[in-house]
Amino acid sequence: MTAYVNDELAATDDARLDEPRSAVLWHEWGEESRTVGQSLRTILHEHLEHHRYAERDLALLGHPMA
């Protein structure tokens, strides 16, 4: 993770994790709301899944970084 993400996670407390955030990603869907904690869990889950698949694919290709 980047230093920015590490700094943000270190500064985050339970109260901040419960704060709601809203955005309109697609006008057809309207406004969506999630807490900071829900958003962080989604981001971290996606990061871990992408990393897992990258390692798997590199191993299948015989890449030395796997």
pLDDT at 58 exceeding the cut of 90: no
Which of the residue ranges 5-9, 12-16, 53-57, 61-65 would you say has the lowest mean pLDDT?
A: 61-65
pLDDT at 1 exceeding the cut of 70: no
* Average pLDDT of the chain, as a whole number: 89
For 31-40, the CB contacts below 8 A with 24+ separation are 36/12, 40/9, 40/12
pLDDT in tens, 5-22: 788 889 899 999 999 999
